[in-house]
């Protein structure tokens, strides 16, 4: 029987042990790995492994599982970051645009001269121009097209003391 202290999903920093971190590292590398294979990789039984995954999900440490797409292979050949200087504190129009525009992949509220940084996937430069034009109705925009991405994402591992 696992000995975990009861914690809630809204705990900003649940306690993770070394085994939790090993599971998380493996899942970040391959989210489709079977529980049996994951258990083998971390030297734990399948039932205990499934229990830990469930616990990490319930705690909100594992936010979800998804497929990462190769955007170019699905027709989105242009990726860009759009910085938006939003003139007011009423973000309803921005949230509406985020809801209706599937090409807006990420949106981050940031410090500095710009209020938001958005990641955009477009089918062409003309398509990017249309999206940036709609965003420009909300405030001043600056667009940076991605040439390449030497680091797309990184596996987070256990912090060293």
Mean pLDDT (10-residue bins), the chain, 161 residues: 44 88 97 97 98 97 94 98 93 97 98 96 98 97 97 94 81
pLDDT at 11: 60
Q: What CATH number is associated with residue 41?
A: 1.10.10
Q: Let me know if residue 151 belongs to a domain.
A: no
Residues 102 and 130 in one domain: yes
Report H helices in 43-110.
Answer: 46-58, 92-100
Residues 41 and 79 in one domain: no
Domain boundary among 58, 85, 107: 58
Q: How many domains does the chain have?
A: 2
pLDDT at 13: 82
For residue 108, give its domain range. 71-145
What DSSP element (H or E) covers 18?
A: helix 18-29
pLDDT at 109: 97
Q: What CATH number is associated with residue 137?
A: 3.30.70.920
pLDDT at 1: 34
pLDDT at 71: 97
pLDDT at 161: 81
In terms of Cβ atoms closer than 10 Å to its own Cβ (0-12, 13-18, 19+), residue 24 is buried
Q: Let me know if residue 2 belongs to a domain.
A: no
Residues 51 and 90 in one domain: no
């Amino acid at each position: 029987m696992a000995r975990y202290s009861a914690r809630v999903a809204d705990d900003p920093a649940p306690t993770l042990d070394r085994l939790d971190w090993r599971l998380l590292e493996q899942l970040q590398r391959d989210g489709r790995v079977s529980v049996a294979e994951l258990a083998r990789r971390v030297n734990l039984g399948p039932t205990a492994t499934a229990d830990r995954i469930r616990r990490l999900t319930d705690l909100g440490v594992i936010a979800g599982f998804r497929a990462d797409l190769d955007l170019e292979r699905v027709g989105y050949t242009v990726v860009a970051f759009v910085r938006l200087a939003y003139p007011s504190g009423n973000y309803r129009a921005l949230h509406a645009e985020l809801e209706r525009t599937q090409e807006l992949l990420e949106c981050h509220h940031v410090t500095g001269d710009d209020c938001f940084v958005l990641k955009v996937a477009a089918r062409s430069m003309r398509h990017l121009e249309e999206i940036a034009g709609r965003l420009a109705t909300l405030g001043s925009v600056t667009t940076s097209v991605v040439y390449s991405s030497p680091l797309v994402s990184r596996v987070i591992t256990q912090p060293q003391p």
